[in-house]
Structure 1
Amino acid sequence: SSSLSPCMSLFPDSSSRGTDAVETSFRFRPYQHLRRATDIRRVFDEGRKRSDSHLLIFAMENGFPYTRIALSVSRRHGGAVQRNRKKRLLREAFRQLQQQLPVGLDLVLIPRHRSDSSLADYSTSLSRLLSARSERSKSPPR
């Protein structure tokens, strides 16, 4: 039995939030989930948008030493089984690439309506779109 209350276990301690924890772990931690509707709305309204044939990404800086993501898969992608599969693939692509991606971002990932997008497709898109975003971020915002 843990001495922590169930509520406290949802929030990482300061030692697990540093860059060392991000660089050495491939886990998708609870604090990496962008959950609050106000945060997600802010990314949609104020963030930069990048897209390709597989993925649409809204991104903005969050001021934290880690990146958080939210997923948005509409009903036009199919039934619950198909939508959940796309969400699993997007989470896995992020999990595998998180050490190579820029830190300190809030991301909203939206898959394009393609039935044949694979984990490799999403991984390639995520990596390419965010590396292009980090190169552009040195220029002043529009």
Structure 2
Amino acid sequence: MPDTRRRKRGRLSRSAEFERAYRQGRSHSNRHLVVYAFARGTGEEPRLGVSVSRKVGGAVDRNRVKRLLREAYAAEVELVPAGHDVVVVARPSARELAEREGLQGVRAALRELLEKAGSR
């Protein structure tokens, strides 16, 4: 069984790390999410950053979307090459996706984008 604990080193935490992914990374999007992938050039484990704006909804909705995105990423992390930073930005429709389809819907939307990002 894979270790699904959240690790500090597996997360983006500084605004400069997010900015680098936004400016220098490749972006892929669908109706619900935008994924930015930036190759750091190291062999370290991939890192995740999640951004959910107030347009998505109130604090409860935003936290639910963030939690589902982190869970979906943990299940699909094998699609991300080592040494990459991934920033996932939730669009306002992500809340409806989370409410309607839950983790499975969020996971499918994220998997689609991670496959695109990993194939380039």
TM-score range (shorter-chain normalised) is 0.7 to 0.9
Larger radius of gyration: 1
Percent identity between matched residues is: 35
Amino acid at match of 1:106: D
SS in 1 for 2:78: coil
1:60-110, CA deviations, whole angstroms, 9 ceiling, x for partnerless residues? Answer: 112242110111111111111111111111011111222343322101101
Establish whether residue 98 from structure 1 lines up as the match of residue 87 from structure 2: no
Q: How many residues align?
A: 114
Q: Which runs of 5+ in 1 are unaligned?
A: 1-23, 138-142
Q: State the distance in 1 between where 2:37 and 2:109 align.
A: 14
Amino acid at match of 1:108: V
SS in 2 for 1:97: helix
Pairing of 1:126-137 with structure 2 (within 5 A): 126-135=110-119, 137=120
Establish whether residue 112 from structure 1 lines up as the match of residue 91 from structure 2: yes
Establish whether residue 61 from structure 1 lines up as the match of residue 39 from structure 2: yes
Instruction: Give the aligned partner of residue 3 of structure 2.
Output: 25
**Under a length normalisation based on structure 1, what TM-score does the superposition of the two structures give?**
0.73
SS in 2 for 1:98: helix
Amino acid at match of 1:87: K
Q: Which runs of 5+ in 2 are unaligned?
A: none
Contact 1:67–1:106 (CA under 8 A) maintained in structure 2: yes
Instruction: Give the aligned partner of residue 74 of structure 1.
Output: 53
Amino acid at match of 1:127: R
Structure with the higher strand share, 1 or 2:
2
**Under a length normalisation based on structure 2, what TM-score does the superposition of the two structures give?**
0.85
How well do the aligned residues superpose, as a CA RMSD in angstroms?
1.7
Structure with the higher helix share, 1 or 2:
2
Which structure would you say has the larger RCO, counting Cα contacts within 8 Å and 6 or more residues apart? Answer: 2
SS in 2 for 1:72: strand
Contact 1:26–1:98 (CA under 8 A) maintained in structure 2: no
Instruction: Give the aligned partner of residue 47 of structure 1.
Output: 25
